[in-house]
Every structure is written in C-alpha cells, then in structure tokens.
Amino acid sequence: MEFGLSEEQRMLADSIRRFADERVDGERLKALVDGGDSANVDLLRGLADLGALGILTPEEHGGSGMTLLDACLVQQALGRNAVPIPFTASAILAPLAFAASPGDAGAEWLPALAGGVRRIGVGLSEAAGRRSGAGVKARSGKASGVARFVIDGQGADAWILATDEGGLILVEAGATGVQTVALTTIDRSRGVLEIRLDDSPCTTLLAADPAVAARLLAAGRVALAFDSLGAAERMLERAVAYAMERKQFGRVIASFQAVKHLCAEMAAEIEPCHSLLWYAAYAAEAYPDEFELMACHAKAHMGEVGQFVARTATEVHGGMGFTHEMGLHYFFKRIGLNRQLLGNPDQVRQHAAALQGWQRSAAAR
Amino acid sequence: MDLTLSLNYERYRADVRRFLEQHETIWRQPMTDSDGRPSDNGRKWQALLIDRGYTCKTIPKEYGGHGGKADILESFIAAEEFHRVGASTGLANQGISMFVPTLLECGTPEQRERWIRPTIRGEIVWCQGYSEPGAGSDLANLQTRAVEDGDDFVINGQKIWTSSAHFSDMMFVLVRTEPKAPKHQGISYLILSMDRPGIDVRPLKTMTGRAEFNEVFFSDVRVPQSQIVGGRGEGWKVANTTLKHERGMLGDPGQANAMLARVAKIMEEETLDGLRLIEHPILQDRLLRLQARAHAMKFHALRLLTHGLRGEDPGLARLIVKLNGTILNHEIAALAIDALGEIGALFDDSPHLRDKGFWQTTHMFSLGLIIGGGTSQIQKNIISEHGLGMPREPKPAAAAADTGTKGRL
C-alpha cells in the first residue's frame, strides 16, 4: 500500500523543474510568450533529450512507455514555469490515441514525436461538448467539418481530431481542403487552432468507439488539471515570497494576518489537489471503471481551485501583481485557458452527473 | 503508487471482518449508559478490542494495554472495517485519547501505574480543563490559579467548554501556579478528582439545544501537590504533548464520503415538482462540487498515511486537515438541509423529521468543530507560519505591557 510518488517519479519531476527553471526563467518566459513562440525548437529538443516527450511512447517506438501519472508529473512541472511548449497534445494525447487505435499509424509518428522533430495537435473539444457550428464527420478516408480549439494545433505537422461518431482521425497539415484559423487566447504560451475540413483526406485511427474517445478526453482533462496544479503551486510560492519582501506600515506584509490567511487558504485548497489528481491519473490504469468520473472531478475541482489561486495570489502582490512586468499574469492566463479547455468546471460537473446516472437523459451532456 | 495490500494485510482485514461478524451482538448494543458513562457492554467491548489490539494497541501490557507495536496500516484497515459496518472503535474520551498518551510521555511510573489501566478500561472517566472564558485561542493566557498551601494546591477560577464534566470522575487541568513567570512558564498540569468540595459543574447548553459542554467553577478546591504531571511551570509543555495527540487523532477519512452518499440518496429519492432533486441543476452542481472535495480529502488521508508509513514528515499537508475537514462536513450538512427545503428546517420530534434531525444537528455541531480545537483562523495562522514559513504577527507593545508579565522581566 503506497499512495505517493515514488523516488523515480520525484526525480523525474525534479529534472523537468530544473530544466524549466534554467531554460524558462522569468525574462526568457517573457521573451518567448510575448514573441508569440509557443513551440520553441530548442526547448522541444531539450525536453526530448530528457526523455520527456517520449514518456508515454512505447519503447519499440523510441519512448520509455511510462504511465499517465508520470506524464502528468512532467505536465505539472511545465505548468510551474508556464513553459510555452506543445506537450499535452504531442506527448500525452497523441501517443494515447495511437495506442488506442487498432492500426499501426503510430509507427510512423511516434518516434518523431518522442524526438521533438514532429508535432501533432489534438482536437477533442467537440467530444467534451459540441457548440453550434462545430463537429467533424468522417467517411471512407475523407473528413468535413470544423474542429475548434485544437490543443497545440498551431504549427503542428498533423492533427488528431475526434469525430461526431466517437471516432478519431488523423489529418496531415497541407492536406487538400484544410483551412486553419489561429485562435488568440489569453494564454499565448500555447497555440490553439481551429481547423476547417472540406472533404479532406484523413487516416481513420478509430472508426467509432465512443468509450475510447471518452478515455482520451479524460486523459486530456487530467493532464490540463496537472498543468494548472503546477501553475497554482508556483503562484502561491511567488505570493509568499513577495509578501516576505514587500514592506508596508514598517513591516513585511507577510506578517499581517490578512495576508497570511489568504496564503493559508491557497495552500489549503492546493494540497488536497495533489492527492485528487494523483488518484485520477493512477485510475487510468489501476481503476479504469473510475477513470472518467475521477478525471471529471480532477478537472472541475482543479479549475475552481486554480481560479481562486490565480486571483488570490495576484491580490497578494497588490498593484504589482496587475502589471505585465511582474509576469504573474502568465500563470493567471495559463490557468484561465486550462479551465476552459475540454470542458470548464460547470460543463465537466454535468458530465460527472451523467456518469453517475443523475441526469434526466444519462446520455446527454 | 499502489493501493493494493500485501497478503498479510489482506489477511489482517479478513481477521477484522471475522471478528466484527462474531461479535455483532455486542457492538450493536449501546456503549454508554443514559448518563453518558461507559456501559457494561461498552467496557466489555473495550476489553475485547484491547485484547485484539484494535484499540490501545501500543499501550504497555503492564498498564492494561495491548502491548503491541504500532502498525499504521493495520490501524487504518481496522478503522476502515469498523466504520464500514458502523461498529464502535472503542471507548472515546479525552482520558483515553489525550491524558493517557500524556502520562506515557510525561507521567511518573506511579502515575502511569495508578491511572492508565482504569482509564482505558472505562472505569474512570476524565474531562479536560483547558479553555477559560478569557483563554480560548490564547490558551496560555489562562487565569485559574493554584496557590500552594501546606501539602496542597488551592484552586480558584473557572473552566469552560469542558465536555463530559458532568459525569467525569477526574479532570486533568491547566492552572497558573507561578503568577510572576512569563505566561507560558507559569502553568502547571494537575489532576484532580471531580468530587472534591468546591467544584461546581454547570451544563452549557449550546445552539443544538443540548448541553454537550459544561462550565466548571473552582472555589478553594484542594488538590495534593503530588498530583502534578511534569514539574511546576511545565504545564504548557506537558499540555502540548496532549494537544499534539488531539491533532494526531485520525478521524474517519471516509466520513465525508459516507455522508455525501446519504445526501445523494435523499436527492435521488425525493422529488420537487415531479423532478428528482438530483436532477435539479443547482443542487446537483453543489453535490458534485462537494463530491470532488470529499474525494480529494479521502485521497489526501491516504497520502498522509503513506507519509506515515515512510516515516516522512508530511509538513504542510498535515496542517490543512482540520481546516478543510470541518468546513467540508458543515457544507455537506448544509446541502442536505437545502435539498430537503422546509423539511430540512424541522427539528427535535417534529412530524416529517428526517434522519432523526441528523442534518440540522450536524450542521450546527460541525460549526462548533470549525471553532473548537483551534478555530479556522488559528488553523490559518498555523498553516501560514509552520507550513509556509511566514512570520508571526508582531505583538503590539501596549498589549505586552498590559499582561504585566513581559514588562516586568
């Protein structure tokens, strides 16, 4: 019986943290993100060298074949520094999609993804909840429709998209009839894309298996939750550090209970999130029956806690927190985008209700 | 990460289950008499539990305990199984949970010999005399005085929030014996018999309508000087070993989840305008928010357990438990009440009352728990100071002089 990170997992997280601290410190983060670079080649190469990009890739395809929890710990470490890197789609969702698909399409892509030389964006928004005008239909190797909010889609070599039938297709960049629209979100550290398909050639990874698509969606939700956890941890650390330095009324503001209590509340909210998220990621393999529901809880709860921490940590910084210069806003925005992607807390809780048979129509969500 | 149990622990779990099945007739009967004291049945159950090591496991045999080694995982499994069927985990009072561990750390061999066995066997019931009207969060400010007179201390003053004082045999109490010493160093830890002349116990009726607590007044109460635990002026140190045990007491990490399951059941069964409450979007959303938090706290308990098994100090992770746990239980009860609407406001013996008034009682009593044992605000001080390394609020100079202690030194 052990509910905690192993020595290896701690070392893994530490190595990514060190990498992020060295390579994406405050000034570098500003330069990258303000410059619109959400997929820096050097950073990708560096992460590939650390083995982070191939963490879920089977060994025969050049990866290390580790677990979702391991991959999520990397995601959390990246979130800590708001590292502008297309990790979630290329290193977590694409390998899982290939693993779940019966064909061998993965053989072509996985080694290049693990090496950081090619990238895949993943569009699951419509699987999480379809808004009017969106949705992709695929039939006999051709796809049409709109995939909105494709994660890490900008600049990718291909995209894996969920279809209305509960399938997964792979569309290569430059295929006929493909039109892309770069979306500008509050968070410039990741490139979200809209993809419009018009009878575009595609590879069917999975014909129609909503259960598999649902598990992929769950994995994406857990990964985004871990990213927010990392960002929230960092915001709290920065708030405490700032409060220990900043003096008003002749003393550091960290000695005022009004400020201390804000920090304590953030800590009290963040701490149990570790456990909830660990369990959700662990459930992917250990308790597949619970996975989807736990992923909903992780995503929804972390979304709420993230929002609370983003606001409160900024408040602790006073006016400085509101400035661009302080750089706190990168985390605020990272958390803000994560909250909305793949279902915001309200939407995800509805899904959690449906999974427990608590809706008039259990199928609807 | 591995939530499976090794074979020997699975065997242990099977043993616990078998034990609970075999003795169901005992744990189904009341553990206390109507006056609140342990019943014959309660003492019988306690003896069985000690014998099997399900309670008082590490207390030495010579003092009436089980005399075993601590095994966090075994305790966790046993607690889980007991809670699962709703069996009492043994007699629970502050004598057993706080006084006995304190004696084991700070008591003399004679004190241990004399008090531990009858206490854990339920023959002697204790109450705790700590809080005072002027010493709540600032406990060290306590003013109840004990003055030396011959071989005795003579106690005058008042305690409050003394649960079970009205049926206790004994009290462990903090008193000021060294009025000239700085406030933390002027306190002593005494034990006294509740039948001493000069002790007046008055029930303190709370918002629940019951008297869960008492006020205890002391007028010239004489206690032999030998009935001190630790030395004169060391009471604060001694008390802190006790408080440590209070904070270390493991609640039932599944309790919030179990309560939520009851709320969900109510919401699945009850309808409003023909719509099941569980389908009511707002109530459903509230339930789901609480569900995520309850799961988080349950897994958090597993995380703390793992820290314990590894011999690691969980630090910050441990400090948030009281703050989060008490608020969570309060909000679960609040949801149940809202789900029931007007029915949720019913109380006592009203027609249509649900669950014997459990939800209103829990809603109120859990508010008491948010305040008692270190208020949420004190918890936030502890979290920020001990968990995040933030400094204490500086003492205003005027207040320090006001106590008349700091100023004179």
| pLDDT averaged per 10 residues, chain A (length 365) | 94 97 93 92 95 96 96 98 96 97 92 96 92 92 96 97 95 97 96 97 94 96 98 98 97 97 98 98 96 98 98 97 96 98 97 91 44
Residues A245 and A289 in one domain: yes
Q: Which residues of B touch A5 (CB under 8 A)?
A: 1
Cross-chain Cβ contact B379/A264 below 8 Å: yes
A62 plus A167 within the same structural domain:
no
Token couple for B183: 């406030």
Could you tell me the domains of chain B? 7-92 (no CATH), 126-233 (2.40.110.10), 251-387 (1.20.140.10)
Residue A365 lies in a domain: no
Could you give the 3-state DSSP secondary structure of residue A200?
strand
| Statement to judge: residues A64 and A132 lie in one domain | no
Instruction: Please tell me which of the candidates A255, A267, A346 has its beta carbon nearest to residue B387.
Output: A267
Contact state of B380 with A69 under an 8 Å Cβ cutoff = no
Percent of chain B with pLDDT over 90: 82
Residues A58, A159, single domain; the answer is no
Q: How far is CA A171 from the centre of its chain?
A: 21
Domain holding A31, by residue range, is 7-114
Same structural domain for residues A234 and A348? Answer: yes
Position B232 confidence tier, pLDDT thresholds 50, 70, 90: very high
First to last CA, chain B: 55
List pLDDT tens digits, range B32-83.
999 999 999 999 999 999 999 999 999 999 999 999 998 888 988 998 899 8
Q: Identify whether A361 is part of a domain.
A: no
- Smallest CA–CA distance, residue A290 to chain B, in Å, is 12
Q: Which helix (H) or strand (E) holds B193?
A: strand B187-193
Say yes or no for a CB contact (<8 Å) between A360 and B288: no
Give the residue from A208, A241, A275 where a domain finishes.
Answer: A208
In-domain check, residue A339: yes
* A364 occurs within a structural domain: no
Query: Would you say residue A87 lies in a domain?
Result: yes
Substitution target from B297, B383, B385 for chain A, most A beta carbons within 10 A: B383
* Nearest residue of A to residue B8, measured between CA atoms: A1
- Interatomic CA distance for residues A253 and A257, integer angstroms: 9
Which position has the token pair 């590292």?
A: A83
Domain end residue (candidates: A66, A92, A114): A114
Q: Do B384 and A264 touch (CB under 8 A)?
A: yes
Residue type, B318: R
Global pTM?
0.93
User: What CATH number did the domain enclosing A253 receive?
Assistant: 1.20.140.10
Interacting residues of B250 by C-beta distance below 8 A, sequence separation 6+? B75, B76, B79, B301
A349 and A244 assigned to the same domain: yes
Q: Choose the final residue of a domain: A81, A97, A114.
A: A114
Is the Cβ pair B303, A275 closer than 8 Å? yes
Domain of residue A50, CATH code: 1.10.540.10
Sign of CA dihedral B99, B105, B111, B115: positive
Residue type, A206: L
Residue A362 lies in a domain: no
Catalytic residues of B, by residue number, are 246
In contact, B351 and B322? CB cutoff 8 Å: no
Tell me, yes or no, whether A203 and A215 share the same domain.
Answer: no
B383 vs A259, A264, A346: nearest CB: A264
Does residue A338 lie within any of the structural domains?
Answer: yes
Give the pLDDT band (50/70/90) at residue B93.
Answer: confident
Band (pLDDT 50/70/90 cuts) for residue B251 is low
Q: Are residues A102 and A162 in the same domain?
A: no
Helix, strand, coil % in chain B, rounded to nearest 5: 50, 15, 35
Same-domain status, A258 and A200:
no
**Strand B213-224 and strand B152-160: pairing?**
antiparallel
Decide if B238 contacts B229 (C-beta within 8 A): yes
Q: With a cut of 90, say whether residue B241 has pLDDT above it.
A: no
- What is the predicted ipTM? 0.95
Number of domains composing chain A: 3
Chain B residues with CB-CB distance to A358 below 8 A: 268, 278-279, 284
Provide the shortest C-alpha distance from residue A268 to chain B (in Å): 5
The answer to whether residues A13 and A102 belong to one domain is yes
Q: Does the residue A2 lie in any domain?
A: no
**A286 contacts in chain B (CB < 8 Å):** 1, 3
Q: Is the pLDDT of residue B332 over 90?
A: yes
Same domain, yes or no, for A181 and A238?
no
Paired sense of beta strands A142-150 and A192-201, if any: antiparallel
Return the pLDDT at A24.
Answer: 94
CA distance A122 to A161: 6
Q: Are residues A161 and A110 in the same domain?
A: no
Can you read off the two tokens belonging to residue A177?
A: 């009839």
- A3, A244, A271: residue with CB nearest B302: A3
Give CA–CA dist B20/B117, Å, rounded.
24
Burial B115-127 (b: 16+ CB within 10 A, else e): bbbebbbbebbbb
- The CATH number that applies at residue A189 is 2.40.110.10
User: What's the confidence (pLDDT) of residue B407?
Assistant: 34
